[in-house]
């Protein structure tokens, strides 16, 4: 075994090898050196374990490229979403419009007026960006943007209720996926939570009794992922707004997801829209830039100017602020919405895609697999909007399923281990790929993978 160890080449000698030298322009000296060291270590281990007994040097060289690509490849990569869940929390939430990203790229790869007032020719405030377009779209006086909705909620609580009480209906005290817990956020924001009502019933008088001189804020929370059904009662926002006005207390809503549009055309009736909340007279409304707008991760606060101004004076904002990338993405996205370019916004396109259209796409897809066609099935499935929106509401859709001598789990593994992983769903022991969430650019990749699955 000693002789084998002696055959391991030195890092320096490997570096002089012509093939290895060719790797330098692409990977850089230090990465290549690290990869050689790792390869040498691994070969030493393999000898010790008795796994290799000859061709020691060859083994070192053979390991280097794969170590390099493993060490240098990003962990965040593109996947193909075949789950039919449009705003998939685990798969990056919203797919952002290419129009938006083109615009972002133009702004972010150059200098810009992020904190420069072009009229006055001196230092300006970043916080004004996106305000005009958001206000215009939502019909409010003012708006501001922070890192995400959790940050927005924390900032609102901290601004109006630090050292004070926040009144929340017990039925709305929920835990949202990814550990967003209102009671915890409340504590971190320095406020005391006052729960009113019971899990299924809260009356206006419960709010009335809870509000006192220590109340800093009344908070309404959109129960995203869950819904208490049956014998429930909550107080209409208009009534709480009126009460808060009388008592001189700020009334805010954590909307999280919710909707911009009325989805009744899709037979989704009970999802609140932002405009309903604005009309109800809520002072401040916060929501996610990705879940609700279908844009980048961000927390958006809209509402009355005097309250937004107060938020702007909170030093916590400095820690939660966003970058030019977020501002420019939201501004361009709002411009698309204001000019009704819905077909440029992937999330809306997917929500409003008809089952017939999806079926047609699948038929076209299958057309290419001439003789293997009978192994591919088009099956009716249900898609979801996701992202905490409309928890039980489903959209009719169609999916690709496979008639093969393989189990659903085997097929799932095959797709998940591709270079661009394809994530589908298994239901009743059948693996399927819902085409509602398949993007145009996914099609050719998917065709390639399906082809290889059918005739390996
Ligand atoms: C999603 C959600 C949050 C958290 O929003 P992030 O943007 O993920 O920080 C908070 N409240 C509600 C009601 C939500 O749905």
Q: What is the per-residue pLDDT across 142-180, written as a single tens digit (0 to 9) for each?
A: 999 999 999 999 999 999 999 999 999 988 886 555 567
Atom of ligand 1 nearest to the CA of 388: 15
Identify the residue whose C-alpha is closest to ligand 1 atom 13. Answer: 256
Distance CA 377, CA 379 (A): 6
Report all structural domains of the chain as residue ranges with CATH numbers, in order of start: 2-70 (no CATH), 80-87+348-454 (3.90.1150.180), 98-344 (3.40.640.10)
DSSP code of residue 297: S
Distance CA 174, CA 195 (A): 12
Residues 43-73 have pLDDT tens digits of 999 999 999 988 999 999 999 999 999 999 9
DSSP code of residue 25: H
In this predicted structure, what is the pLDDT of residue 389? 57
Q: Cβ(257) to ligand 1 under 6 A? A: yes
Are 186 and 166 a contacting pair, CB within 8 Å? yes
In this predicted structure, what is the pLDDT of residue 260? 73
**422-423 and 80-81 beta bridge pairing:** parallel
Identify the sign of the CA torsion 152, 158, 159, 165: positive
Residues 284-333 have pLDDT tens digits of 999 999 988 999 999 999 999 999 999 999 999 999 999 999 999 999 99
SS3 of residue 413 by DSSP: helix
For the entire predicted model, the pTM comes to 0.91
DSSP code of residue 389: B
Distance CA 445, CA 157 (A): 46
Q: Cβ(224) to ligand 1 under 6 A? A: yes
In this predicted structure, what is the pLDDT of residue 228? 47
Q: How far is the CA of 172 from the centre of ligand 1 (A)?
A: 13
Distance CA 18, CA 21 (A): 5
In this predicted structure, what is the pLDDT of residue 153? 96
Q: How far is the CA of 257 from the centre of ligand 1 (A)?
A: 7
Which CA distances in Å does 248 have to 156, 241, 313? Answer: 16, 10, 20
Q: How far is the CA of 256 from the centre of ligand 1 (A)?
A: 4
Each residue's pLDDT tens digit in the chain (456 positions)? 678 899 999 999 999 999 999 999 999 999 999 999 999 999 999 999 999 988 999 999 999 999 999 999 999 999 999 999 999 989 999 999 999 999 999 999 999 999 999 999 999 999 999 999 999 999 999 999 999 999 999 999 999 999 999 999 988 886 555 567 888 999 999 999 999 998 778 899 999 999 999 999 999 998 765 444 455 677 899 999 999 999 999 999 998 877 776 666 666 656 678 888 999 999 999 999 998 899 999 999 999 999 999 999 999 999 999 999 999 999 999 999 999 998 999 999 999 999 999 999 999 999 989 878 899 999 999 999 887 655 567 899 999 999 999 999 999 999 999 999 999 999 999 999 999 999 999 999 999 999 999 987
Q: Cβ(221) to ligand 1 under 6 A? A: yes
Q: Which two tokens stand for residue 222?
A: 């959109």
Which CA distances in Å does 173 have to 89, 128, 179, 182, 451? Answer: 20, 32, 13, 6, 49
Atom of ligand 1 nearest to the CA of 151: 9
Strand partners, 389: 386
């Amino acid at each position: 075994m000693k002789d084998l160890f002696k055959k391991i080449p030195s890092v320096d000698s490997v570096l002089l090898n012509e093939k290895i030298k060719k790797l330098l322009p692409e990977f850089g000296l230090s990465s290549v050196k690290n990869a050689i060291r790792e390869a040498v270590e691994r070969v030493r281990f393999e000898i010790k374990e008795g796994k290799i007994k000859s061709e020691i040097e060859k083994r070192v060289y053979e390991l280097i490229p794969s170590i390099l690509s493993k060490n240098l490849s990003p962990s965040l990569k593109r996947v193909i979403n075949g789950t039919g869940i449009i705003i998939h929390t685990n798969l990056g939430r919203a797919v952002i419009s290419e129009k938006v990203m083109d615009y972002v790229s133009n702004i972010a790869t150059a200098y810009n007026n992020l904190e420069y007032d072009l009229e006055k020719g001196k230092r300006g405030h970043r916080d004004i960006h996106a305000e005009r377009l958001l206000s215009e779209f939502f019909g409010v006086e003012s708006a501001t943007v922070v890192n995400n909705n959790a940050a927005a909620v924390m900032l609102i609580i901290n601004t109006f209720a630090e050292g004070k009480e926040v009144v929340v209906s017990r039925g709305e005290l929920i835990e949202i996926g990814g550990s967003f817990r209102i009671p915890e956020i409340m504590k971190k924001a320095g406020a005391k939570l006052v729960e009113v009502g019971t899990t299924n019933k809260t009356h206006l008088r419960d709010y009335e009794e809870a509000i006192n001189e220590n109340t800093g804020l009344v908070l309404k929370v959109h129960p995203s992922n869950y819904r208490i059904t049956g014998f429930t009662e909550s107080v209409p926002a208009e009534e709480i707004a009126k009460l808060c006005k009388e008592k001189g207390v700020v009334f805010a809503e954590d909307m999280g997801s919710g909707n911009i549009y009325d989805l009744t055309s899709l037979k989704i009736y009970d999802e609140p829209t932002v405009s309903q909340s604005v009309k109800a007279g809520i002072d401040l409304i916060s929501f996610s830039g990705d879940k609700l707008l279908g844009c980048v991760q961000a927390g958006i606060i809209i509402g009355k100017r005097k309250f937004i101004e107060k938020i702007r004076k909170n030093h916590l904002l400095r820690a939660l602020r966003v970058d030019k990338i977020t501002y420019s993405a939201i501004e361009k996205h709002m411009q698309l919405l204001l000019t009704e370019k819905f077909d440029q916004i992937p999330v809306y396109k997917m929500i409003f895609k008809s089952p017939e259209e999806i079926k047609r796409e699948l038929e076209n897809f299958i057309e290419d697999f001439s003789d293997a066609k009978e192994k591919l099935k088009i099956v009716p499935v249900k898609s979801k909007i996701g992202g905490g929106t409309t928890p039980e509401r489903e959209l009719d859709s169609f999916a690709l399923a496979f008639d093969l001598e393989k189990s659903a789990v085997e097929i799932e593994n095959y797709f998940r281990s591709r270079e661009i992983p394809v994530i589908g769903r298994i239901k009743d022991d059948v693996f399927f790929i819902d085409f509602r969430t398949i993007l145009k650019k996914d099609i050719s990749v998917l065709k390639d993978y399906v082809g290889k699955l059918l005739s390996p």
